[in-house]
C-alpha cells in the first residue's frame, strides 16, 4: 500500500451509525457507494457530460471502517477511450477516536 493516496480528493465524509452492518462496522455497500459517487464526479468533470457506472472490476476491503471515521475517496483517470473511462478509486480512512 502506498504512503500517500494516488489521485485527487473527490469525496470526504464521516461514517455514521446508520451505515453499520450487524457487527457495528460500516457496511461495505455504503463504502462502495461513496467510491462510485467519487468516480462519477471525476468522470463528469473530465467528460463534461452525463456519465454512468457500467462496471467495477474488483474490490478489496483491507480493514473495517468504524463509526466516526473520516472517509476520503481519491480517484484518477487512468484511461480514456471513445465511450468509456477507467478510474481507479482509493479509500483512505482517518480514525480520530479509538
- pLDDT mean for each 10 residues of the chain (98 residues): 89 97 94 97 96 93 95 98 96 89
pLDDT recorded at residue 74: 98
**pLDDT at residue number 1:** 63
Q: Is residue 77 part of a domain?
A: yes
pLDDT at 3: 87
Residue 63: inside a domain: yes
Cα 33 to Cα 20, 72, 80, 89, 97: the distances in Å are: 14, 13, 22, 12, 24
Total residues belonging to the chain: 98
Predicted pLDDT of residue 97: 78
Domain that holds residue 50: 8-94
Domain-embedded: residue 1 = no
The CATH number linked to 43 is: 3.10.129.10
Could you tell me if residue 3 is inside a domain? no
Sorted by sequence, the CB contacts under 8 Å of residue 90 that are 6+ apart come out as: 5, 6, 7, 73, 74, 75
Amino acid at each position: 500500500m502506498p504512503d500517500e493516496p494516488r489521485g485527487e480528493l473527490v469525496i470526504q465524509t464521516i461514517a455514521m451509525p446508520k451505515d453499520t452492518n450487524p457487527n457495528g462496522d460500516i457496511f461495505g455497500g455504503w463504502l462502495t457507494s461513496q467510491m462510485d459517487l467519487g468516480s462519477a464526479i471525476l468522470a463528469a468533470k473530465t467528460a463534461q457530460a452525463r456519465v454512468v457506472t457500467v462496471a467495477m472490476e474488483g474490490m478489496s476491503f483491507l480493514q473495517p471502517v468504524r463509526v466516526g471515521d473520516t472517509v476520503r475517496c481519491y480517484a484518477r483517470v487512468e484511461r480514456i477511450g471513445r465511450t468509456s473511462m477507467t478510474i481507479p478509486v482509493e479509500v483512505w480512512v482517518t480514525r480520530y477516536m479509538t
